[in-house]
Amino acid sequence: EMQLVESGGGLVQPGRSLRLSCTTSGFTFGDNAMSWVRQAPGKGLEWVGFIRSKTYGGTTDYAASVKGRFTISRDDSKSIAYLQMNSLKTEDTATYYCIRGTWGGYWGRGTLVTVSS
Amino acid sequence: DVVMTQSPLSLPVTLGQPASISCRSSQSLVHSDGSTYLHWFQQRPGQSPRRLIYKVSNRDSGVPDRFSGSGSGTDFTLKISSVEAEDVGVYYCMQGTQWLYTFGQGTKLEIK
């Protein structure tokens, strides 16, 4: 059974950093791109970015709203994707979802990040 | 960025009646590889989004056949042939043709 489990969310002050993890099982992690999508409380869905598989260079793309502050990485040996979030702003408050691939076929349950003083 | 515009944003439907959601994109979603990366998602209250339809009209495994997707270019539709109580939630279209991938604003389906 395929599983994606996000962790690392919580309450953080503006300007601080947080790293989210997406621990996966049930599929060949290294063959897949991994994405992050977020949802502010009561709002719609917003792409954060994604990382390609090593086959496609392991490169990343980001939304303009997070570029330069957020970094997506992957550890294929552990089947984990990461979202490093620096210089956090109150508007980054959201539930962050990890997704297998870029077509949105498989989602985790999300982890809530609250940025507040 | 490609802007995705859904209508209506609120959709009250009587049980057993059909429902239709429109999704329009600000530019063509036909990729250079010939595919159209337009997908539909359902988000039930308190749950993660779940994909229903991928690449315009392909139903995901386990999705009831009362859900169907159609369209081309910039104009797409999700139809529910006969709404059931479990269909309550918010529906999103999403384009994956051009980065930055983008979602529509969401359509909230409720039972009348």
* Cα–Cα distance measured from residue A46 to residue A36, given in angstroms and rounded to the nearest whole number: 9
Q: Are A102 and B96 in contact (CB under 8 A)?
A: yes
Q: Are B70 and B79 in contact (CB under 8 A)?
A: yes
By Cβ distance, the residue of A44, A64, A102 closest to B106 is A44
Q: Are B24 and B74 in contact (CB under 8 A)?
A: yes
pLDDT in tens, B47-62: 999 999 999 999 999 9
Check CB contact under 8 Å for A110 and B37: no
SS (H, E, C) chain A: CCEEEEECCEEECCCCCEEEEEEEECCCHHHCCEEEEEECCCCCEEEEEEECCHHHCCCEEECCCCECCEEEEEECCCCEEEEEECCCCHHHCEEEEEEECCCCCEECCCEEEEECC
Cα–Cα distance list, A71 to A74, A83, A86, B41, B77 (Å): 10, 6, 8, 26, 35
* Cα–Cα distance measured from residue B13 to residue B19, given in angstroms and rounded to the nearest whole number: 7
Residue A77's pLDDT is 97
Judged by a CB distance cut-off of 8 A, whether residue B63 touches chain A is no
Phi, psi of A29, deg, nearest 5: -55, -45
* Cα–Cα distance measured from residue B42 to residue A114, given in angstroms and rounded to the nearest whole number: 25
Judged by a CB distance cut-off of 8 A, whether residue B2 touches chain A is no
Q: Give the mutation candidate from A103, A109, A111 for the B interface (greatest B CB count, under 10 A).
A: A103
B95, closest residue in chain A (CA to CA): A103
Judged by a CB distance cut-off of 8 A, whether residue B105 touches chain A is yes
Residue B42's pLDDT is 98
**Per-position pLDDT tens, chain A of length 117:** 999 999 999 999 999 999 999 999 999 999 999 999 999 999 999 999 999 999 999 999 999 999 999 999 999 999 999 999 999 999 999 999 999 999 999 999 999 999 999
Judged by a CB distance cut-off of 8 A, whether residue B92 touches chain A is yes
Residue A16's pLDDT is 98
Judged by a CB distance cut-off of 8 A, whether residue B91 touches chain A is no
Question: Shortest Cα distance from A36 to chain B (angstroms)?
Answer: 11
* Cα–Cα distance measured from residue A61 to residue A92, given in angstroms and rounded to the nearest whole number: 18
B100, closest residue in chain A (CA to CA): A63
Judged by a CB distance cut-off of 8 A, whether residue B45 touches chain A is no
The half-sphere exposure of B34 on its side-chain side, counting CA atoms within 13 A, is 0
Q: How many residues does chain A have?
A: 117
Residue B26 per-residue DSSP state: S
By Cβ distance, the residue of A61, A97, A105 closest to B48 is A97
Q: Are strands B10-13 and B4-7 parallel, antiparallel or unpaired?
A: unpaired
